[in-house]
Structure 1
Amino acid sequence: MYPFIASIVKGILTITGGIKVYNKSQLPKDGAYVVACTHTGYIDILWLGVSLLPRQIHYMAKKELFKTKLIGGFLSRLNAFPVDRDNPGPSVLKIPSRLLSKGEIVGIFPSGTRTNEQTALKQGAITIAQRSKVPVIPAVYLGPNTFTELLKFKKAKLIFGEPMYIYHPEMDAKQAREHFTHELGKRLSLLHDELAKK
């Protein structure tokens, strides 16, 4: 179902303005990795997934979206899995770790919420990548955030940064998580500034 829905979404998004993707060469051609992307609306989720085709991405999504069988079932078919943001349990690490062990891509929005403000990054993306020994790819999206804004036919922009490997020879695991969470924040900020000038 994912390829079919993704092709429809790609067609709709392309008609309403399209997207310019920068630095896609930074993405590993195969194997597992975590994409840590800024999150300002619902459209960035769609464009990120479309931009990674033909590979599929598995998204962390707040559990509230899965309350109804119809919506929850649809999201599950689009490779989304629920996470309790208020009381995170073992599934926060277990599910993405299992996906990464199979060579899949996991998409995480490290701010934990849709926002246009500078938000302190949570350590989820870094922790999961560290645990699975896979790189984190920073990503920044600028463009329409709502379906109403899509109708203004404004082109979206998406930029990928260099892969981050969550390891430092002089730090223990906890120190490395804190260090690379801060580093991810800096890289996202720099990518945002770079993308805004394009």
Structure 2
Amino acid sequence: MYKFIASIVKAILGVNGAKAKIYGLENVPKEGGFVIACTHNGYIDICNLGVSVLPREIHFMAKKQLFDIKGLGWLITKLNAFPVDRDNPGPSVIKIPRQLIKDGKIVGIFPSGTRSSENTELKAGAVTIAQLAKAQIVPAAYIGPKDVKAVFKREKGYLVYGKPFSVEGGKEGREESIRHLEAELERLTNELKAKHA
């Protein structure tokens, strides 16, 4: 189902010129499980990220409320999304993505929400998951269309992958990796803006 829908999304984005130009794809591991932590400013970035590593599939962490929306919940489940209750996070926040990584899957997390406190929590979450799963994090940044309206206006999208990094053990390792992730997401975003301002 994922590959079928992804091929349709890829075609729609391509026809409208909104399929993101990708940089740094060589930084994405070809096999094994890992975390992709990407900037987030709409839902077109999810589409572009989702098709960027085909034929491999990304399992996206999504807020629980999205699964309660009729039709959307079914669709995003078919697209490998799994729910997270950000208000009352339980063991599943770590358990599900950790198991996915153990099974050699890619877990996609968008640690750039609208609220700064949420940004920090999600970055910490991405780092903690990678640390516990003993997996690498691949930072990524996206600029471009944010919604369908922008897609049909033929706005261009750009996606860049940074170099993967591992999280050292303990609290210090987590804190250092959170700082590194924040710096990388900012650097990659600025790099895209400088190329395509």
Where in structure 2 are the equivalents of 1:101-140 lying within 5 Å?
Answer: 101-111=102-112, 113-114=113-114, 120-122=119-121, 123-140=124-141
CA offset digits 1:138-191 (Å, max 9, x no partner): 000000001111111122100000001001xxxx51111111111100011111
Counterpart AA for 1:94: K
Number of matched pairs: 192
Secondary structure of the structure 2 residue equivalent to 1:121: helix
Comparing 157-166 with 172-181, which one deviates more in the overlay? 172-181
Match of 1:187 in 2: 184
Counterpart AA for 2:184: R
CA–CA separation in structure 2 for the residues paired with 1:118 and 1:99: 26
Counterpart AA for 1:10: K
Q: CA deviation at 1:71?
A: 2.3
Specify whether residues 196 and 118 from structure 1 end up closer, same or farther in structure 2 by C-alpha distance, changes over 3 A only: farther
Specify whether residues 186 and 141 from structure 1 end up closer, same or farther in structure 2 by C-alpha distance, changes over 3 A only: same
**Unaligned stretches of 5+ residues in structure 1:** none
Match of 1:2 in 2: 2
| Percent identity over paired residues | 51
Q: Point out the structure with the larger helix share.
A: 2
Q: CA deviation at 1:102?
A: 0.3
Match of 2:36 in 1: 35
Counterpart AA for 2:64: K
Specify whether residues 164 and 43 from structure 1 end up closer, same or farther in structure 2 by C-alpha distance, changes over 3 A only: same
**Unaligned stretches of 5+ residues in structure 2:** none
Q: CA deviation at 1:107?
A: 0.1
Match of 2:159 in 1: 158
Counterpart AA for 2:51: V
Q: CA deviation at 1:19?
A: 1.9
Where in structure 2 are the equivalents of 1:41-60 lying within 5 Å?
Answer: 41-60=42-61
Q: CA deviation at 1:118?
A: 10
CA–CA separation in structure 1 for the residues paired with 2:144 and 2:114: 14
Q: TM-score, normalised by structure 1?
A: 0.92
CA RMSD of aligned residues (A): 1.6
Match of 2:194 in 1: 197
CA–CA separation in structure 2 for the residues paired with 1:158 and 1:118: 25
Comparing 148-157 with 94-103, which one deviates more in the overlay? 148-157
Secondary structure of the structure 2 residue equivalent to 1:197: helix
CA offset digits 1:29-80 (Å, max 9, x no partner): 1111100000000000000001011100000000001114532222111000
Structure 1 residue runs of 4+, over 6 Å off? none
Secondary structure of the structure 2 residue equivalent to 1:129: helix
Specify whether residues 30 and 87 from structure 1 end up closer, same or farther in structure 2 by C-alpha distance, changes over 3 A only: same
Secondary structure of the structure 1 residue equivalent to 2:71: helix
Counterpart AA for 2:41: T
